[in-house]
Amino acid sequence: MIDFAAATSAAKAKYQRARPFMTDGKPICTPDMAAGLRANGSYPSGHAAIGQGWGLVLAALVPAHKAALLARGKDFGDSRRVCNVHWASDVAAGQVVAQATYRVLLKDTAFSTDLAAARTELANVRPIVPDCTAEKAGLKR
């Protein structure tokens, strides 16, 4: 999570793009977080990078559920658009940053070692696949 979020920090600081709710006046899903969001640039989406990154890591660990895990990671980022705190281009850029960060992480010996250990640990565990029907319906707005 830290690596994926940190990879967006420099661009967020440079561009300081205003978030959608700051320009359209529409509500957000977490109004108690509005002040903090106003102080943090919208582009690229750190949450989209985190969601995409988690999806990539989990898909590598549980390849039998690769498509669902990648879709869930994408949905995590898309939820930020649905909640009116990111523009679609913020989300897309965050996902691109995550993909590049993941490629860099794969070249890191410690990360690759941890990934292999986690893959071995999960080899005999059946993953839990929750029913995300309501969440998927909410993201289709």
User: Where do the structural domains in the chain lie, given as residue ranges?
Assistant: 2-139
Report pLDDT digits (tens) over 26-60: 999 999 999 999 999 999 999 999 999 999 999 99
Task: Identify whether the C-beta of residue 67 lies closer than 8 Å to the C-beta of residue 81.
Answer: no
The predicted-structure confidence for 96-111, as pLDDT tens digits, reads as follows 999 999 999 999 999 9
pLDDT tier at 141, thresholds 50, 70, 90: low
DSSP state of 57: H
Q: How far apart are CA 132 and CA 13, in angstroms?
A: 34
The third-level CATH classification (topology) of the domain covering 2-139 is Vanadium-containing Chloroperoxidase; domain 1 (1.20.144)
Q: Structure pTM?
A: 0.84
DSSP string across 83-118: TTSS-HHHHHHHHHHHHHHHHHHHT-HHHHHHHHHH
